[in-house]
Amino acid sequence: MTVTGLVATTTTSASAHGTHHSRSHASKGYTQVVVAPAVYDLVTTAGITPAPLNGATAAPYKGTLAARFPITAYRLRGLQIRHTGGISLTAGSSTISLSNFNIDLARGRVSGVVSGTVGDVGRVDLFKIRASDRAGLGLVRLTLTNTAAGALNTTFGVDAFAENATFGYATPRPFGR
């Protein structure tokens, strides 16, 4: 499926006026992000522990980890989906938190707020949105930006993360529960 398939998924049931969906928080759905199996193996082998933050959830999924981030709003004009919650990654005294994700389909990017051992970085582009090569894990593939790879490598004192490397797969479900 191509990235445009994600647009179709997010716009199918939208209202005719549709610039901003305004249902209550509980009915806006979620985006599921599945960590790529190779990344999950790397993270667990390195002793890095993931934990959901502020309303996000995480659970085992097909030999890896799936996290769900609540959708707080979306705009059909501009093709954006906003989320609450996040995930922290911790190894010893080193932690990085990634939260409040915004999917910007027009730019093909996912941004988030970064904080932790690296300091309070603020909102940065974390992932590039690509066509999925593993549809069973998600509609789109998320590859690391140079900024995200650098923050992960700096936080954990490794050089395992690289720009354009697959981090995971995402499937927005704006009307899911």
CA–CA distance, 98 with 85 (Å, rounded to integer): 9
CA pseudo-torsion sign 28, 99, 6, 31: negative
Task: Write the DSSP symbol of residue 13.
Answer: T
- pTM exceeds cut of 0.75: yes
User: 130-169 pLDDT, tens per residue?
Assistant: 999 999 999 999 999 999 999 999 999 999 999 999 999 9
Distance between start and end Cα atoms, the chain: 23
Q: Please report, to the nearest 10 degrees, the dihedral formed by the alpha carbons of residues 141, 144, 148, 153 taken in order.
A: 120
Q: How many CB atoms lie within 10 A of CB 58?
A: 18
Q: Is the dihedral of CA 78, 167, 172, 82 positive or negative?
A: negative
Return the H-helix or E-strand segment holding 46: none
Indicate the pLDDT class of residue 15, thresholds 50, 70 and 90: very low
**Can you give the pLDDT at residue 171?**
95
Distance of CA 134 to the CA centre of its chain: 16
Q: What's the pLDDT at 92?
A: 93
Q: Based on DSSP, count helices (H) and strands (E) in the chain, helices before strands.
A: 3, 11
Boundaries of domain holding 37: 3-173
- Provide the number of structural domains found in the chain: 1
Q: What's the whole-number mean pLDDT along residues 104-126? A: 91
Mean pLDDT for the chain overall: 84
Minimum mean pLDDT range among 14-18, 95-99, 125-129: 14-18
In angstroms, the CA 154 to CA 119 distance is 11
Whether 11 has a pLDDT exceeding 50, the answer reads no
* Unique residue bearing structure tokens 């049931």: 13
